[in-house]
Amino acid sequence: QVQLVESGGGLVQPGGSLRLSCTASGFALDYYAIGWFRQVPGKEREGVSCISSSDGTTHYADSMKGRFAISKDNAKSTVYLQMTSLKPEDTAIYYCAADPYGSSCLEPYGMDYWGKGTLVTVSS
């Protein structure tokens, strides 16, 4: 019933931009903290950016501040991640995740629902 589906991944050159989308179904997006996480094979999954359910506050990992921007459209049940100034180090599988009533939402273990991910490759 609960489903998160990511899209928008692909190959982009360093310095380029990309917008990821996550469409949610089976739950009301406005009552959930929702965000983006990424993982490189062999490394721990890390939080990228998220939106708290309580007040809509956005959060970003330090390495993404100034380059990534998260937004959501509750009516469309969609969350976006606009990525700019992409670096090869940003190459990873990006996941969308949600947590009921979540506020501190950059911790992967705190999220209940996950999408299957979309691959972002930054290379020249």
pLDDT score at 64: 87
Quote the distance between the C-alpha of residue 13 and its chain's center.
20
Mean pLDDT of 37-48: 96
pLDDT interval class at 104 (50, 70, 90): confident
Percentage above 70 pLDDT, the chain: 100
Angle (CA) 13 93 10, round 5° = 35
Structure confidence by residue, pLDDT tens digits, 17-42 = 999 999 999 988 888 999 999 999 99
Structure confidence by residue, pLDDT tens digits, 58-102 = 999 998 889 999 999 999 999 999 999 999 999 999 999 999 887
